[in-house]
Amino acid sequence: MKCPYCGHSEQRVLDSRPAREGEAIRRRRECDKCERRFTTFEAPEKPRLFVAKRSGGREEFDREKVLGGMVTACRKRPVTLDQLREAAARIERDLFDLCEDDVPSQAVGDRVMRELRRLDHVAFVRFASVYREFQDPAQFAETVRDLAPKKRAQRGPELAQSKL
């Protein structure tokens, strides 16, 4: 590493501490030549993941783009930004766990739908309507019907039986 002031490559590390929520190390350095101090950050290089689009194109996976779609679906819903950030992180980890360089966009969309279904059914239907490109109200109705049995099952068997 070179000093940003004089370009000399020898310096001392004065202090090291965790940074960016433990994802990096902040180092305070002093140049041996000009004696000026500067800060560096050291972080592991993250592997790159690409999304194969339906159109045949390819782009780098962007967690912020996934988060943005989820935020839009959850607008005016009782879902916190922290919940959405955690969901986006789970999606990213899940995709990296596939150990593939390219994942189909469908794999991303399916995981977003799974997370939204868990968080908020209205947001799930909103996202599904765009993702699955609904063409008529019957598709909305079918999606809502598919949610209903899951909801009763989550309440417990005694409530599901009492509805019979």
* CA torsion through residues 16, 89, 59, 95, sign: positive
Query: Taking the domains of the chain in order of start, what are their residue ranges?
Result: 11-42, 50-150
pTM of the model: 0.63
Write the pLDDT tens digit of every residue in 55-69.
Answer: 999 999 999 999 999
84-92: long-range contacts (C-beta < 8 A, 24 or more apart)?
84/119, 87/115, 87/116, 87/118, 87/119, 88/63, 89/63, 90/115, 91/63, 91/66, 91/115, 92/49, 92/61, 92/63, 92/66
Low-confidence ranges of the chain (pLDDT < 70): 149-164
Residues 43 and 69 sit within 8 Å (Cβ to Cβ): no
Confidence (pLDDT) at 23 = 86
Rounded Cα distance between 163 and 148, Å, is 13
Confidence (pLDDT) at 149 = 62
Confidence (pLDDT) at 163 = 44
Joined tokens for residue 53: 């689009």
Joined tokens for residue 46: 């993250």
Confidence (pLDDT) at 160 = 45
Q: How many C-beta atoms surround the C-beta of residue 5 within 10 A?
A: 13
